Structure formats: C-alpha cells, structure tokens
Amino acid sequence: MKPDNNRPLILVTNDDGVNAPGLKTLIEMAVKIGDVIAIAPDEGRSGMSHAITIKYPLRIKKIKEDEGLELWSCSGTPADCVKLAVNQLLDRKPALLLSGINHGSNSSISVVYSGTMAAAIEGGLHGIPSIGLSVTDFSSKPDFSSCVLYGEKIIKKTLTDGLPPGICLNVNFPSVPAGNIGGIRICRQARGLWIEEFDQRTDPHRRDYYWLTGYFENYEPDAEDTDEWALRNNFVSVVPVRTDYSDREAMAKLTTAYAEAGP
C-alpha cells in the first residue's frame, strides 16, 4: 500500500475473525477517513480477553491490497494482531485503532472477557487512541446502520480531539435501526456478572464434557448512568476505559489502614 501522508493511518482489528461482516463494515467506515491496515484473527477468537500467543509461532498472510487498504489474517489472538501490526506491519504510529464491530454486546463486565476490547486496550498501551465497537446482536448478519451513522461521528471526534493518555473507548450500539437511536451517552460500566452454568454431557466414549452457558445479571438495572441502561433505552453507550487498573481511592484507604497497623 502506497501511503498517503495527507490521510490519517488507521489500524483495524477484531476478535470475530477476518471474514466477519462486522470487520468488513468497520473497514468500509475507516477507508472513507484514512489509509487502513487491517489485521484480524484467521478465525473467530471471541472471549480471548488479553491472551497472547507464546507457545506457538505466529503466522500472518496478506488477504487483500487496494489503494489505501491492506488486509491481513493472523494465526493469533486480537492482542497478538495489534502487537504484530505495531512491530512488523506499520511504518509509522497510527492515528487511531478501531476494533470490531463485534457481533454481540461488550457492555458491563463483558469488557473483562472481550477480545475486541483487549485489542483496543493493547492499542492504548502503545499510546494509540483506540476504540472498541460492538453491536448488541450475536447473529451473523446484524443491522449495522446505527453503527455506521454514529460510529463515524465517534471516530471523527476521536481523531480530532484525541483521548486522554491511558484511556480507550468501549462503544456499544443497540441492535435497532439508526432512526430509532436516541443519541450518544457517555456512561459508566454497569455493575453485573455473568452467572455461569455448565451443561454436562457424555461423549460416545463415555467421557464427560461441558459446554459453558449462562446469563447476565445486571445488579443495578435502574441506574441511568450505566451502559446497560443506555442500550436498553436505545442509546449508543460510550464508556471510557483505563489501561491502568490501579484504583486510587482504594490505594489511599489501604495506605492509611496499613500505616495505622504499624511497621
């Protein structure tokens, strides 16, 4: 790809795999704005969180090259994709990293498990303004109209204004047509938990195995400042996420408590 220094360089990735419709939609959005290098897992790797590959070699393959666009597949995780791009594929620091569009919500505690958001966080660790984008529809063909309309606004705003150091954005779109969206809300992550259930089965060799199932429980369904409330009421939720997990308030309390406990 011949770089155009008049256009920003945008790195694109995901966790649903290089052939996912959400990645295709995000690339189409990004090439309107800048030059794009996209690198994504060669197959779906949802729920990988921030896993990296250290036991096996990583392999990449160029899938497509057009003016202003390169698309690569990677044998590793979403975090691997970002690391490889930064260290091997990019000739300069990108102006923006976009991860998604994930098929399924990454609101509330899902951010902990999400490969989509891990890629955005990895971008943030490298000092790249980064956005993870997801739609609340797990089907193979979600309605991306709201993602395109409001996602482009968020992308352009981030390119213009940047993000504070160590902050990336977790953006979730309700699975409704763009005309039904109430707007964009800056939110906090709702407190909640996935209640896991394991479906125990027996294979033909009489060995037990398990399928993970379960459901999400929102601990504060009426809190109007959360991402879960925003999505339930047809708003696009935007949650600023720290790459630094340190809790300053807890640090202050613990410092006082240990000081009082003596040497």
Specify the CATH class of 9-190+222-260 in words. alpha beta
**pTM (2 decimals)?**
0.93
pLDDT of residue 222: 95
pLDDT of residue 2: 65
pLDDT of residue 261: 75
pLDDT of residue 62: 97
pLDDT of residue 54: 95
pLDDT of residue 197: 86
pLDDT of residue 70: 97
Stretches in the chain below the pLDDT threshold 50:
none
Q: What is the pLDDT of residues 108-153, one digit of tens each?
A: 999 999 999 999 999 999 999 999 999 999 888 899 999 999 999 9
Tell me which amino acid residue 240 is: P
